[in-house]
Structure 1
Amino acid sequence: MSELTPAQQLRYSAQLLLPEMDESQQLRLLHSKVLIIGLGGLGCVVASYLAGAGVGHLLLADDDRVSLSNLPRQLLYSSAEVGQLKVDAAKARLQAQNPELVITPLAARLTLPDLLVLLPGVNLVLDSTDNASSRLAINQACYLRQVPLISGAASGWQGQLLALKPWLGQGCYQCLYPDWQDSPSCLQSGILGPLVGMVACQQALLALKHLLQIGDVSFGRLHCFDGLHGQSSQLKLQQDPACPICAASDS
């Protein structure tokens, strides 16, 4: 596709009014391929905004099924989808939202070998998972394949966001949490939907800025947000010289 159709010009007219946007930028989005891992509260919001913005190919990975307890914060699903695979329910909703996109469902918990096969040709990975083993495998795969990674997390009243290009020596998730253990799940620590939505909206915004190559994506900086007290902080990630992932080949 070398130019937008009249229907696409109308669909994306609001974002095309931005001074940083034009038809070539919209085509850049339409030609982009993004892997979203985890279709919980974060992944649902991220996928919806990327589909709405016109990211042409979304790969959706999750091995879980919709449950009743998901519905307060996982906004792609309704009571009618309880029991369905999340990837199938999400694909149906996203294609209803924007039928011209390619949506590839992956009903699996992706391992490191899976990721290494999938990542060539992917422009960006969005980590919206909720367990340490998945996050560390995603981190390692993105390092090895040199694919940018934007990771979001939310639990209790706390949210965090981290954008990484770890092959540039800026550090990685392994550096941040060298002895990482799984934190309590949302059902154990509690969560409010708007807190998840705030993190997911920021994750989607950084993703679109990266794909469009505009603005500051804050690669290598950790953003933390306290939803109870309305406080936020930011720190620059430092590479751990002993990191077995991103420092192993730098010496």
Structure 2
Amino acid sequence: MSELIPAQQLRYSAQLLLPEMDERQQQRLFASKVLIIGLGGLGSVVASYLAGAGVGQLLLADDDRVSLSNLPRQLLYSSAEVGLHKVDCAKARLTAQNPEIAISTLPKRLTLAELQVLLPEVDLVLDCTDNASSRLAINQACYTQQVPLISGAATGWQGQLLALKPWLGQGCYQCLYPDWQDSPSCLQSGILGPLVGMVACQQALLALQYLLNIGVIPFGHLRYFDGLQGTSGQLQLQQDPDCPVCALNE
């Protein structure tokens, strides 16, 4: 394993000072590949933190274009980029932030079949989408391909975070929302940028902990909080014995 060059030692100096970190751990990040699905308020923040930390390969998937209403909470984009594909804008900004990492883009909404092909190539999936069909497809693909999933959601004043290894009998998103329908979009229910950022920062932190194999990752537990009331909590996900995705008696 090669040593970090002086410029890398300087770039990553703050995180290398942590007792859990060293050059070997930094090399571990360089060797990691993460799929980020959705580059809105969650994904744009998550991608920036993972790129900054030196995650070596980021695969970015989103079929959307930048709109003016995105800009208060989607921090990768500028007014000049309205109308452009988010993945292209994100790649340009992240490459400028850290030219050492490799970034691939998929300007499309991934189907279950496409996810099944992609997932064996990655170490971790971050679900930053905003619709039920995508979340359920991601959940099913991660289960069948046995790739860990960290999913975030934010709408109104509510935020949720869920880390999953459902093949270990912890349950999955299908168990949590067996009859899930799309919730109102941010433009319908309202949202403040910092609330989305809070969820995204937790997603990024859990992702780095997982890739580095440090700390406690609450797999199978749903974290939730209310940004208006300042309350938060956690509950353990229960596996639905009739779940069509992860039930033990399938």
- TM-score bucket (shorter structure): over 0.9
Query: Could you tell me how far apart the structure 2 residues matched to 1:174 and 1:39 are?
Result: 23
Cα offset for 1:3? 2.2
Query: Could you tell me how far apart the structure 2 residues matched to 1:146 and 1:82 are?
Result: 37
Q: Helix, strand or coil for the counterpart of 2:137?
A: helix
Q: Helix, strand or coil for the counterpart of 1:117?
A: helix
1:130 corresponds to 2:139: no
Q: Work out the number of aligned pairs and report it.
A: 250
Query: Could you tell me how far apart the structure 2 residues matched to 1:5 and 1:245 are?
Result: 46
Q: Which residue of 2 aligns with 1:171?
A: 171
Q: Which residue of 1 aligns with 2:205?
A: 205
Query: Could you tell me how far apart the structure 2 residues matched to 1:4 and 1:181 are?
Result: 48
1:209 partner amino acid: Q
Q: Which residue of 2 aligns with 1:216?
A: 216
Q: Helix, strand or coil for the counterpart of 2:121?
A: coil
2:199 partner amino acid: V
Q: 5 Å matches for 1:52-91?
A: 52-91=52-91
2:157 partner amino acid: W
Query: Could you tell me how far apart the structure 1 residues matched to 2:175 and 2:189 are?
Result: 25
Q: Helix, strand or coil for the counterpart of 1:48?
A: helix
Q: Which residue of 2 aligns with 1:157?
A: 157
Q: Helix, strand or coil for the counterpart of 1:167?
A: helix
Query: Could you tell me how far apart the structure 2 residues matched to 1:2 and 1:243 are?
Result: 46
Query: Could you tell me how far apart the structure 1 residues matched to 2:80 and 2:53 are?
Result: 26
Q: Can you list the C-alpha shifts for 1:187-221, whole angstroms capped at 9, x where unaligned?
A: 00000000000000000000000000000110000
Q: Which residue of 2 aligns with 1:26?
A: 26
Cα offset for 1:168? 0.4
Q: Which residue of 2 aligns with 1:45?
A: 45
1:100 corresponds to 2:100: yes
Once the two structures are aligned, what percentage of the paired residues are identical?
Answer: 82
Q: Which residue of 2 aligns with 1:181?
A: 181
Cα offset for 1:4? 1.4
Q: Can you list the C-alpha shifts for 1:104-158, whole angstroms capped at 9, x where unaligned?
A: 0110000100101111120000000000000000000000000000000000000
Query: Could you tell me how far apart the structure 2 residues matched to 1:45 and 1:244 are?
Result: 33
Query: Could you tell me how far apart the structure 2 residues matched to 1:28 and 1:144 are?
Result: 25
Q: Can you list the C-alpha shifts for 1:56-98, whole angstroms capped at 9, x where unaligned?
A: 0000000000000000000000001101000000000000000
Superposition CA RMSD, Å: 0.8
Cα offset for 1:7? 1.0
Query: Could you tell me how far apart the structure 1 residues matched to 2:41 and 2:221 are?
Result: 23
User: Can you give the 5+ residue segments of structure 2 that lack an aligned partner in the other structure?
Assistant: none
1:115 corresponds to 2:108: no
Cα offset for 1:2? 2.5
Cα offset for 1:250? 4.0
Cα offset for 1:32? 0.2
Q: Helix, strand or coil for the counterpart of 1:120?
A: helix
Query: Could you tell me how far apart the structure 2 residues matched to 1:250 and 1:15 are?
Result: 44
Query: Could you tell me how far apart the structure 1 residues matched to 2:58 and 2:121 are?
Result: 12
Runs of 4+ more than 4 Å apart: none
Query: Could you tell me how far apart the structure 2 residues matched to 1:81 and 1:242 are?
Result: 46
